[in-house]
Amino acid sequence: MFKNIKMLEYCHKHCQDIKAMETSDSLFNLRQNIKTDVQELDEYLGGGIAIGRVTEFVGLSGTGKTQMCLQLSLNVQIPKQFSGLEGKALYIDTRGDFNPARLQELAIDLEKRFLHKALGFKSSTMMQNVYYQNCPSSAELFACIVNLNRYLNSNPSIKLILVDSLAFSIRMLENVRDRTNLLMELHALIHQVLCHHNVAVVLTNELGFYRSRRKWKLRSTLGEKHTHLINERIWLTENGNYVGKTLKFRKLVTSINANCG
């Protein structure tokens, strides 16, 4: 009985300053996102690529994974007055697919969209706000991710980290155990980054064939452990964009006719 009275006194003393609890709706409205410029996809994701989460784009070669990464590295810079983050991007390139000429074209297009609306929002500035790191080997990628926390401490305006492609570096290793160990180490490091910094992490992955019941089937690479450690998986295909962790349970978000840009 004495303990219960003491507990009530403690609650009365320390909990009386609580004026109101936050609702899930208010927390949802506080979420920060980076638009993909695909309207249906942004609506499905609640505004775009979420800060504090790991989002993966997966697809066959030529389906637009690198194009999406380039666009996101610019969209993260949209001024706050237009519901943007006004941040910068770090682009980690493992395949050598980064195309600065294409990035400049996209930057010019984005500048035109905000012409006479956002002074100083120029394509030249956007290009300077995309930091680039080439990591052609798995060892270089690991070293880069290890140093992310320190780099972000020096560059707190970075709000987006892109790894294009994670799968390419992992699959360089011939030993399956080495692949798994490296992948788990990278995920642990990325998780630490998300815990200490207000950033979004975007990965690209590939599709590969595997044999099941004497049939060859298509699935995302890197395995089930990796699938459980990402927050969102977006499938880019010739027919449209899908969202879902697995090929079997993915959901069509926008068809190619709706996303003709």
Domains, in order of start, for the chain = 2-255 (3.40.50.300)
The secondary element (H helix, E strand) that includes residue 120 is: none
132 DSSP β-pair partners: 91
Average pLDDT value over all residues in the chain: 87
pLDDT of residue 2: 43
pLDDT at 209: 65
pLDDT value for 259: 44
Q: What is the pTM of this model?
A: 0.85
How far is the C-alpha of 240 from the C-alpha of 22, rounded, in Å? Answer: 37
| Digit-coded pLDDT (tens) for 94-136 | 999 999 999 999 999 999 999 888 888 999 999 999 999 999 9
Instruction: Supply 242's token pair.
Output: 């899908």
> Taking phi first (over 0 means left), then psi (-120 to 50 degrees means alpha), and beta for anything else, what does residue 248 get?
alpha
Residues of the chain falling short of pLDDT 50: 1-3, 8, 10-11, 15-16, 18-19, 25-29, 258-261
Q: Report the pLDDT value the prediction gives residue 249, as an integer from 0 to 100.
A: 86
Residue 162, phi-psi category: left (phi > 0), alpha (psi -120 to 50), beta (remainder): beta
The amino acid present at 164, given as its one-letter code, is D
Yes or no: say if 133 and 93 are a contact pair by the CB < 8 Å rule.
yes
